[in-house]
Amino acid sequence: MTTPKVIVSGVLAIFNDLPCYVLDDGQRVFRLSNLTKALRDKEHGKFGNYLAASNIINYLPNRLKPLSDEAHDRVPQGTLEFDCDGKIEKGYNSEDFMDVCSAFVTANLNNEQLSDAQKEIVKNANKFMLATAKIGIISLIDEATGYQQQRKSGELQLKMKYFLIDENSPAREWEKTFPDELWYQFGRITNHKGSLKLRPKYWSKLVNALIYGLLDKDIATYLRKTKPPKYTGQKYFQWLNEGYGIKELTQHIWLMIGMAKTCTTLNELRALSEKQFDTVIKFK
């Protein structure tokens, strides 16, 4: 099997000057040895050991849970090899790294007892997720490396390929995607007194504006115009692909939950979201 090679490289300043690479097979990756510095802003410890902590590992997808060896140097699953100027490096896929960030943030949201080092990682992980919420990790790396100059024209088509299932495919089967915690937070900040199972219809406007609209306006517009639930009988998230679309949606939902927890009213959440995403939000 041929080892993929680096075609362009760059540095993500907002990720504590994390080097990043685009490979000739299309993957966007980081060097495994750089990831601890990204999470803690200093060279300290092994990346896999942080993932193996008992209060973190259960929040990771099974495919990313680290393996153990006799030296207690945990090997992160998903590690790959790539050729960087003739030198074989160990790497980690950028989307997998964002799943790691999501695991730390979710553990914190679930009130796990975290060490000072883990709290530091949560702070950085949350910053990374905020930075990538609008444009995604791939777009950040493409900008840092200059790879966007090599992409084909037609930004909406690229986004559709990134977020959505194939246009000729049926919608995915329904499965629970929006966590109850989101509805709890919506209920709290809108002073809803009824059951969360009988959600007010206007909450759909909150979902459209704060979830789909802030995830990506172009995709939200496309779904609203071409995949309306009343016409298709499907929810918007059923048209998102498993590889990237659902990942991005899930990360964004938990980001909004974290932001909502800091607010007492819907207006506060709207103001915070407008500031964070540099946009004007209308619930319509």
Secondary structure (DSSP) of 179-239: -HHHHHHHHHHTT--S-TTS--TTHHHHIIIIIIHHH-HHHHHHHHHHS-HHHHSS-GGGG
- 8 Å CB contact between 251 and 106: no
Residues 105 and 163 reside in one and the same domain: no
Residues 84 and 191 reside in one and the same domain: no
**pTM value?**
0.51
Residues 145 and 165 reside in one and the same domain: no
Instruction: Using alpha carbons, list the distances in angstroms from residue 266 to 50, 103, 199, 255.
Output: 36, 26, 15, 16
Please give the residue range of the domain that contains residue 229: 155-277
- Gap between the Cα atoms of 64 and 202, Å rounded: 38
Residues 215 and 262 reside in one and the same domain: yes
Residues 161 and 146 reside in one and the same domain: no
Residues 140 and 42 reside in one and the same domain: yes
On whether residue 49 sits in a domain, the answer given is: yes
Residues 252 and 176 reside in one and the same domain: yes
- 8 Å CB contact between 221 and 227: no
On whether residue 124 sits in a domain, the answer given is: yes
Residues 206 and 255 reside in one and the same domain: yes
Last residue of a domain, one of 123, 150, 177: 150
pLDDT score, position 153? 40
pLDDT score, position 156? 66
Residues 161-187 pLDDT 10s: 778 887 778 888 888 889 899 999 999
Last residue of a domain, one of 150, 168, 183: 150
Sign of the dihedral through C-alpha 149, 277, 196, 227: negative
Tell me whether strands 28-31 and 87-93 are parallel, antiparallel or unpaired.
Answer: antiparallel
Higher pLDDT, 45 or 5: 5
Total structural domains within the chain: 2
